[in-house]
Structure 1
Amino acid sequence: MKRIIETDDAPAAVGAYSQATSDGSLVFTAGQIPLTADGELLDDEPIEHQTEQALYNLDAVLDEAGATSADILKVTVFLDDIDDFEAMNEAYANYFGDEPPARSAVEVAALPKGVGVEIEAVASIE
């Protein structure tokens, strides 16, 4: 049965979607952007800082679902400029350490609110 995951420690959903959903064994997060829970948009920050905020938001959503970054199986990173890959990857590598999950990283035409990065994940909570 689907469970809706919501937390005040990450930005609220601004459309017809949930911060995350779970079936009891897997958690699927919505894409997280560099927007603080207080509504501060970090779109003018370097991509490393944007990535760190998106990952912080991801942590908050996963925590509410009963998971941690160690439980993440797959990540998708959306970049508005693939030339930001190396800088994003450095912040990403610091977050995941020696056992990172599977990942796809793609350039897209545009991201919500003009940010440089959006990150979504699938995690196991069994």
Structure 2
Amino acid sequence: MATKIEIKTDKASSMDQTKFPFSQAISYNGMIYCSGNIGIAPGTTTTIEGTVTDRTVQALKNLTAILEAGGSKLENVVKVNVFITTMNDFAAMNEGYLQFFKHPLPARTCVAVKELPLGTDVEIECIAHL
């Protein structure tokens, strides 16, 4: 029977679990399920300054570190969910996104939401195989 394994790394942002009760990722049955990541640099607790493109890049750097800590890599991502606070940021988010993902691109959903944690404008989660 497969066992859930928590993936943790200090090479990606990590929030106080008493306020944000979730794992960075869980590995289960050959897959890695990454929690949503926002543009927070490792070792800090605030979002980076700059543009939505900059925060997209930082979120994807965090996801890359988490996947590598779990024995996978960004190229193994099969599904991505992106949350942005306005569809006006769609092109800017894609600018950062395409710095990390190449063809064949993972399946993806992008939705606009009213609000995201810590007042950020983009959050990204993904699923990858080992």
Classify the TM-score, shorter chain.
over 0.9
Aligned residues: percent identity? 36
The corresponding residue for 1:61 is 66
| Alignment deviations for residues 101-126 of structure 1 (CA, whole Å, 9 cap, x no partner) | 0000000110000011000000001x
What stretches of structure 1 move > 6 A for 4+ residues in a row? none
Gaps of at least 5 residues in structure 2 are: none
Query: What CA distance in whole angstroms lies between the structure 2 residues aligned with 1:24 and 1:59?
Result: 20
Query: What CA distance in whole angstroms lies between the structure 2 residues aligned with 1:8 and 1:63?
Result: 12
Query: What CA distance in whole angstroms lies between the structure 2 residues aligned with 1:52 and 1:38?
Result: 17
Q: What letter corresponds to residue 69 of structure 2 in structure 1?
A: E
The corresponding residue for 1:8 is 10
Gaps of at least 5 residues in structure 1 are: none
RMSD over aligned Cα, in angstroms? 1.2
Q: Secondary structure at the match of 2:124?
A: strand
The corresponding residue for 1:98 is 103
The structure with the greater share of residues assigned to helix is 1
TM-score, scaled relative to structure 1: 0.94
Q: What letter corresponds to residue 94 of structure 1 in structure 2?
A: Q
Query: What CA distance in whole angstroms lies between the structure 1 residues aligned with 2:72 and 2:106?
Result: 14
Query: What CA distance in whole angstroms lies between the structure 2 residues aligned with 1:85 and 1:50?
Result: 13
Q: What letter corresponds to residue 14 of structure 2 in structure 1?
A: A
CA contact (8 A) 1:43 1:116 kept: no
TM-score, scaled relative to structure 2: 0.91
Query: What CA distance in whole angstroms lies between the structure 1 residues aligned with 2:48 and 2:88?
Result: 16
